Structure 1
Amino acid sequence: MRPISYSRVSDVGTAIGTVAADPHSAFLAGGTNQVDLLRIYVEQPRRLVDINDLPLKQVEELPGGGLRLGGLARMSDVAEHPTVRRRYPMVTESLLLGASPQLRHMASVAGNLMQRVRCTYFRDTEAPCNKRAPGTGCSAMEGVNRGHAVLGTSECCIATHPSDLGVALMALDAVVQTEGPAGQRSIPIDDFYLLPGRTPEREHPLTHGELVTGIDLPPLPVAARSRYIKIRDRESYEFALVAVAVAMSVAGGRIAEIRLALGGVATKPWRARAAERELDGAPATPESFTRAAEAEMAGATPHGMNAFKIELGKRTIVRALTEMAEREGSA
């Protein structure tokens, strides 16, 4: 057995200082992903610093009209929060579809954003994996890759990021608040997730000992008209094959505002900017939706078993946009 020391802290400064002082230490929150990785030797810290007593569980109004989710707020609490449900329904839906009730009661929203990929080869310490062991190769390239990414891939990694919440936050332009040895930072969500490139082991720009303290949702009236659709192999707890987070407003039969992000198809929560450009000011019609879906998936790269995700992605985008347009009474 590997010896692991454990300590519990009650203030942010002590938590950061304790982890920063030891390169082999890690924060422990809900542990729903981390403990699994410890059991299978994918992660091997020698010290765990339990941060569940830190005062980071609140959901608070921001002065400018947005909302701050505390980093340690439980997924279930955020999903059921009346303000989140009313002003950001896609966030609620992404959380409810993102895990079983038992996991939602344990997992924190920051931990959800920080969870590691679910690639079989990443979790198999005998298999080559550039994300787990840089320079060893990517077994998924020629292996079982049905669930892997078709967008944002590189020759080094095609693993799909698993967070549903991250997809909703990407559509909303959320901002991740952190605190570390060098002080506090505000990181736009699109910058918080890194494409694999040639360094797939780096998934975030965080330094060792840097803690996610909160997530800021901007004041977006259009976010109240939003939803999250998740396509998966089974209706019970399962990761996405394709997911779409969409917020849309329609005026005079045309799309006045659109925000679109994808999950299940990319190496990070994916902002569908090509589709948004096609849709901005366009008629809210099936033809427009189809053109937008085609534009977004035009850059997709299939890898054997996952080629079906390109067509499934297009159809899911069209479905999400159609349902939103029907809600707006224009389709």
Structure 2
Amino acid sequence: MTMAPGQPDEAHAQVDVETSATDGAVAIKGRTPWQIVRSRIRRDKVTMVALGICIVFALIGILSPILTSLGLIDPYKGDIKLVQGVGSLPTGALGGISGSHWFGVEPGTGRDLFSRIMAGITTSLIVAVLATLFSILVGTILGLISGFAGGWLDWLISRTMDLVLSFPQTLMLLSLSTVLLGAMTDVLGFPPGAPATIAYLVLVLGFFGWPFFARIIRGQVLSLREREFVEAARSLGAKRGRLYFKELLPHLWAPILVYATLILPQNIAAEASLGFLGVGIQAPTPSLGSILNDSVVYANPDPAYFIFPGLMLSILVLSFNLLGDGLRDALDPKTGRS
């Protein structure tokens, strides 16, 4: 079967050479494209470390609501006894770090900073993952249609991509927040506060992210639509839906997977930036951006309050970026094979 660009080619698959201990014969064992990709990833130590860190953050995002419901962590309940003095700074050294509060406590409220960072990671990952899925869904469908149909439909979708990309994302997120948040609560019935803000961020980040996916998918489809397996399916009377989702889509998993891991940290950073600017998810619902926004005024008297959420955000974004780079290298058939 013809493989898509960006995927390992079975015709050039690596082989394992095994020597028999009895007769010295050499046996050749072929490897599938997935086995080649896995072996490349395992050989890349940086990608393996990034993958492990991403898994840890994903587990934190999943377990944080469960631990909160069980009462093992509490990102909302404060203890005023843990803060005192000018500015209600935490008592004790390093922002109140202790066996009960691993990252210290929040100035002014005494809330556990470790619990709030865990809950903030959950919030950031929910927004980023949903926005990325939105971009993948819309971008893949429109990219398939644009690349395969051609003609006026390709022109219309391509010009729509150019139009959406011409708007600066951050500026549009800031300017549309009041109008769209009001429409979501009044018209669509979203509960005010965090639910409406999360839906708004997912919608806008996903909307401004789909043209990147669509352009990549369109370019891949343009090279695939003239291949023999597509022509064979056409000659057998396959309809457009089968050509899109049965013949072409299975050959596009590599660029979709790689670009998803690259756009996900961008959405995490965008959500945190909006929270830092004060137009994202607001307290008491924790997010990494809002925690950083609150911690700026305490950067000198309580540096732990600023360092821990900033460090977690940096590690989270960096790990996903490194994972995306590693996947791109592992799925690129032009890279060197040992």
Global fold match (TM > 0.5)? no
With the shorter chain as reference, the TM-score category is under 0.3
Q: Greater Rg, structure 1 or structure 2?
A: 2
Higher strand proportion (structure 1 or 2): 1
Q: Which has the higher helix share?
A: 2
Structure of greater relative contact order (alpha carbons < 8 Å, 6+ residues apart):
2
Q: TM-score, normalised by structure 1?
A: 0.25
